[in-house]
Amino acid sequence: MKSTIFPLLLAVSTSTSCAQYIRGAVDGLNSPAHSNENHSDESRTLNTRIIGGVNVGGEDTSYTVSLKDEKGNHFCGGVLVSYNAVLTAAHCVGEESGKEGITAVVGRPNLNIGSVGQELKVTKQLLHSKFRASGFEFDHDYALMFLEEDVSVPVDIITMNQNPAFPLPGAKVTVYGYGDVDDSKKITRLSREVLKADLRVVSKEDCEAVEAEFEGNNVTLAGYVDEATMICAKHNDRDSCQGDSGGPLVRHRRDGSKELVGIVSWGVGCANEFPGVYAASSSAFRWARRTICRESRKPHHQFNCEDKW
């Protein structure tokens, strides 16, 4: 579910010709992004999709946001965390993705049904101060997009996980998105409906131990996974991909409630031997709280803006 506009790094090559693939905005697919003078031989391909996903049925996924560019095309995902604030991947922000006139579509599980949900213009985009897109990884891949007004349709605002100890390796998590449903690099078929895929959290050690050939290069994630800010997850042939960047990775609690544990960030290709890498919610919470308490007219109660931060 990595969108062509999302700075999700899809591949890290240890060969001299380094190939880095970004799960990002859709209409930027197969085009270079975030060029790096120190790695002029790299090519980054933005990806946006959920591979092996299923329809969400009657599940309430109204916190899942579709970000559209000025032409009305979906390019990234996002998560509604406050009444006028969308958490997404930093590589989806206009200055990183090249997108202008961004609109957030909320409360619309099927993008073909325009009478459902609400479309609101994004009026401010703020990157995490530690966001870094260099070399082979996206570090602190977080951004907040503020909307022109508070959401006025019935939606579920999801709470962010604050505990860095969770989710544990082996835990079941679910990724949601409108991204590409075809794992071929040459074909982009975005879903018009929210899809979901159940995954399992992979430990940092197991994530970095994966080594395989990808597009002619010997690729490994060793040394690129920051346990404090990233979560690895995979399950057989299920994965997020192009167009999914910034979308939610969710833990379902035993009491039936949901908790945001991460957002789609980067990976090596889609639905292969490599786990997808997600930006951890717990690492973003304090920054999100400070920012939302400062910028929102009506902050969600999860941020306790009445208290000092």
- The whole-angstrom distance between residue 301's C-alpha and the CA centroid of its chain comes to 23
Q: Give me the mean pLDDT over the 31-40 stretch.
A: 27
For residue 263, what pLDDT band results from cuts at 50, 70 and 90? very high
**309 occurs within a structural domain:** no
Query: For residue 128, what pLDDT is reported?
Result: 97
**36 occurs within a structural domain:** yes
Catalytic: which of 139, 141, 180, 244? 141
**Which range, of 23-27, 87-91, 169-173, 236-240, averages the lowest pLDDT?**
23-27
Catalytic: which of 74, 91, 128, 140? 91
Question: Is it the case that residue 17 has pLDDT exceeding 70?
Answer: no
213-258 pLDDT, tens per residue? 988 889 999 999 999 999 999 987 787 887 899 999 999 999 989 9
Collapsing DSSP states into helix, strand and coil, what is residue 235?
A: strand
Question: Is it the case that residue 13 has pLDDT exceeding 50?
Answer: no
**79 occurs within a structural domain:** yes
For residue 98, what pLDDT band results from cuts at 50, 70 and 90? confident
Question: Is it the case that residue 184 has pLDDT exceeding 60?
Answer: no
**308 occurs within a structural domain:** no
Query: For residue 182, what pLDDT is reported?
Result: 52
CB-based contact 7:32 (threshold 8 Å): no
- Strand positions, DSSP E, 150-270: 159-160, 172-177, 195-202, 211-214, 217-220, 230-234, 239-242, 248-252, 258-266
**306 occurs within a structural domain:** no
Tokens of 22: 């970004």
Q: Give me the mean pLDDT over the 19-43 stretch.
A: 33
| Catalytic (active site) residue 245 | yes
Query: For residue 31, what pLDDT is reported?
Result: 25
Mean pLDDT of the chain: 81
Domain containing residue 109: CATH number: 2.40.10.10
Question: Is it the case that residue 127 has pLDDT exceeding 80?
Answer: yes
Q: Report, in this order, helix, strand and coil percent for the chain, each rounded to 5.
A: 10, 35, 50
- Cis, peptide link before residue 167, omega less than 30° from 0: yes
Q: Give me the mean pLDDT over the 29-48 stretch.
A: 30
Could you give the percent of the chain with pLDDT greater than 70?
78
**28 occurs within a structural domain:** yes
Tally Cβ neighbours within 10 Å of residue 189: 12
| Catalytic (active site) residue 141 | yes
**242 occurs within a structural domain:** yes
Question: What are the residues whose beta carbons fall under 8 Å from the beta carbon of 32, sequence distance 6 or more?
Answer: 43, 44
Q: Where are the alpha helices (DSSP H) in 83-191?
A: 94-97
| Catalytic (active site) residue 91 | yes
Catalytic: which of 62, 82, 97, 245? 245
Question: Is it the case that residue 180 has pLDDT exceeding 70?
Answer: no
Query: For residue 134, what pLDDT is reported?
Result: 66
Give me the number of domains the chain comprises.
1
Domain ranges, residue 163: 1-300
**305 occurs within a structural domain:** no
141-153 pLDDT, tens per residue? 999 999 999 999 9
71-83 pLDDT, tens per residue? 999 999 999 999 9
**Which range, of 27-41, 49-63, 233-247, averages the lowest pLDDT?**
27-41
Q: How far apart are CA 37 and CA 24, in angstroms?
A: 20
